[in-house]
Amino acid sequence: MTERLETAPEGDSASHGSVIPRPGRGALSNQASRYMLTHTLAADDGWGIDPELDAAPLETIVLADRTRELITRNRSPDIPFDRSINPYKGCEHGCVYCFARPTHAYLDLSPGLDFETRLFYKADAAQRLEAALCKSSYQVRPIAMGTNTDPYQPIERRYRVTRQVLEVLLRSRHPVTLVTKSHLVLDDIGLWRDLAELNLARVAISVTTLDRELKRKLEPRTASPAARLRTMERLAAAGVPVSVMAAPMIPFINDAELERILAAARDAGATAAGYILLRLPLEVAGLFEEWLEAHYPQASARVLSVLRDMRGGALYTSRWGERMRGTGAFADLLAARFRSAAGKLGLQTDAGLPALRTDLFSPPHAQQSLF
């Protein structure tokens, strides 16, 4: 087991650079995306830093997104689904490590603070999903939700896009899986219970840490660790199959908690578990390095060195079979620890989960035959 390195003293992060963490936000800056023609860099002009100005709260702006295709397809061999629905673009949870941040570059926005303050909701989601499911060529397989951004981020309480999708899936008897960090899934517990009774649903709760202070730095607008465990308890009590996703595992930051996370989740009703190594694609690498320098300056070089050791010398590789787990001694040790802990706790792994039903599917507008 590895030790966790000490954080910088509260209020000391400004001494390690010119960027100050903003209250309630994960990214420290609005670094330009890879597609922007001009980039700007913060520089100390000798007049010092005004904490009230530079760390002022940012307003969240939400706009409608009218993407024509609601269901996204993939052919990746290292994830257990071939289609997904993401009700929102961007995520107010503000997880600094989020591998989905680079998708904001396609919108001419920054993967940094823009990703957590410039959000988009999928308009007309129910109608578009119904149209997709009614196509004669549609073949049923579980739809995954929560694969890019969290379907139960705070704006779900206003826009209810996730709920609209679930209502269509329940009427159609269509299987669905979910990964979330939010207790707001309990707002739809009736839908999840009804789906689960037909063996059409499975929910995974992502738990990154049991340390509330570390959670505040890593993923500032997510539910507390205790709230996530209570969410598991309520889902399990309602008959919804629950698993825990210990993700991401970050060397010397939270990996020492792996066994404790799995044990706490098992006690809360989880019957299965998985884990993912920290992923730093494209702009996320720079954002994470900036975060490390602000919060763990003494540990930064060591953390990045181990990450490079697990990625063949780079901070990230997108190669299938490696991007989720890494390679090398540290990655092998982490995998062995997970297998050992899951086995001792009686937790199934992703590969051992039973299949959800697909034979109950009925297109939402299908008419009964007259003969």
| pLDDT tens track for 186-221 | 999 999 999 999 999 999 999 999 999 999 999 999
Residue 53 has pLDDT above 80, yes or no: no
- The strand pairing partners of 85, in sequence order, are 145
Mean pLDDT of the chain: 90
CA angle 272, 263, 185 (to 5 degrees): 55
Q: By C-alpha distance, which of 326, 315, 313 is closest to 255?
A: 326
Rounded Cα distance between 320 and 330, Å, is 19
Question: Which of residues 35 and 65 earns the better pLDDT score?
Answer: 65
* Residue 35 burial (10 A CB sphere; 0-12, 13-18, 19+): exposed
| Chain segment 284-332, per-residue pLDDT in tens | 999 999 999 999 999 999 999 999 999 999 999 999 889 999 999 999 9
Asked whether residue 267 carries a pLDDT value surpassing 50, the answer given is yes
Give me 313's structure tokens. 């010398």
Question: Is 234 exposed, middle or buried (CB count within 10 Å of its CB: 0-12, 13-18, 19+)?
Answer: middle
Q: How far apart are the first and last CA of the chain?
A: 66
Domains and CATH numbers, the chain: 20-39+55-352 (3.80.30.30)
